[in-house]
Structure 1
Amino acid sequence: MTSDREAIRLSVVVPVKNEAGNIAPLLAEIASACAPLHPFEIVYVDDGSTDSTPAVLAEAGTRHPELRVLRHRESCGQSAAVRTGVLAARGELVATLDGDGQNDPAFIPALAAALVAAGPGAGLAQGQRVGRKDGRRKMIQSRIANGVRGRILKDATRDTGCGLKVFRRAVYLRLPYFDALHRFMPALVAREGFAVVHGDVVDRPRLTGHSNYGLFDRLWVGILDLAGVWWLIRRRRRVPQVIPAGPTNPAKAE
């Protein structure tokens, strides 16, 4: 596993639930977009689908050797599916995007490059959607949620709900896990002492089907999550800066 992890440059994690019609076209787009980042892997996490998603993923594996598939016995939610994928990921960098095709994987290389260019002190490259293709009601809810979140957390991020992100796996594993974690990553990454960089990404209409995950797990639940994240940030006073201890001159120590 150690050699496998060292060999993979990037892991692309895609949570899906009942997205059979979107799998083949999105997989082809991811493989094409990430070709310059070879070697990479694509980790699909099937969050308890009840349609033909498992069969479609099994067939896709015969055409995409870079594909790995994990499955939840029952649906546990988008955050849980993302976490399952990240825990299994073998790349130092992890990209996530929604499985409905609205996030264009063509932006993954640019986000990855921005994160690397920012240096080891940066933990997350957050996509921010332009040209939103969601319905009017969903867009209004999103604006309210993002506006309230931005004023309270001051995370300098216009659109945390965008599923297109690239982050350092090690940084993600330091974050407190809870449902809807993926919607608060900029604030929580900053809480750990890492910088966040941003990149505009073009939103697209969903390829087929309908949404299987609610916005902010519904607004009122999102507000409760927001209060919890605010509390976590308030409780974190200082990020420890760890330096080597002991003799600085090995020869003198002998």
Structure 2
Amino acid sequence: MNTTYLGLELKRTTRDFVTMFFVAVLPAFFYVIFGASQEYSGENAGNGNVAMYIMISMAAYGAVVATTGIGGAAAVERMQGWGRQLGLTPMSDGSYVVLKSAVALVIAAIPIALVFTLGGFTGAEGTPSAWIGSALILIAGAGMFSLYGLIFGLAFRSEAAVGAAGGSLVILAFLGNIFFPLTGWLLTLAKFTPLYGYAALARYPLTEGFTIDTTTGTLIEQPLWQPLANVVVWTVIFALLATWLARRGRGRQ
């Protein structure tokens, strides 16, 4: 991997203060508003408390915003001529993909680290396995949303489309049971949306699959295979769609 180019890409991304606000600062703000500042934040939630539950959810949102933006920007860069410029260098297509993946993971780790650090100072509590397990799942699983951003970049070939992809994550986050607990038919619908499985898996070390039905106040257990299947199916869908769009783009050239 070209570490010099990696460093330049990281500097370029982190210097975009508007992007970094939505990637890192906004999820941290959401955690403070919906988690740390609420009276119920100290109540038990599996292997920790409610503050940690909300902390993981907000970190998940920040991580997918990061990887979606990186994936979409990579597609737009290639189609706007940056790929031809890189073709004059020794860097191969494979190296470019690996480098962009590394950038996406590093940028995704920023909101996770910020929100987790903030949670540690504002009452989020959990077992060591819950902290470590959720953080690792958040970083590993966020990569699927780089494909989501890639789809928008390949389909519409503009930076505005990439911004729209990031904006659509707000809707997916609501439907994905991230911002507040869903019940009834909304919860049933949520299980088929792409962010649901990712967030549920990230919270699994904390909740062990249990959620609270806010209507009845009872605990509901969700088998592990459900969020796993959600992540696998959506990753396959994103990968197939991105591959098809990439081939279609080459066919037009």
Structure 1 and Structure 2 fold alike (TM over 0.5): no
Structure richer in strand, relative to its length: 1
State the TM-score, normalized to the length of structure 2: 0.28
Structure richer in helix, relative to its length: 2
State the TM-score, normalized to the length of structure 1: 0.28
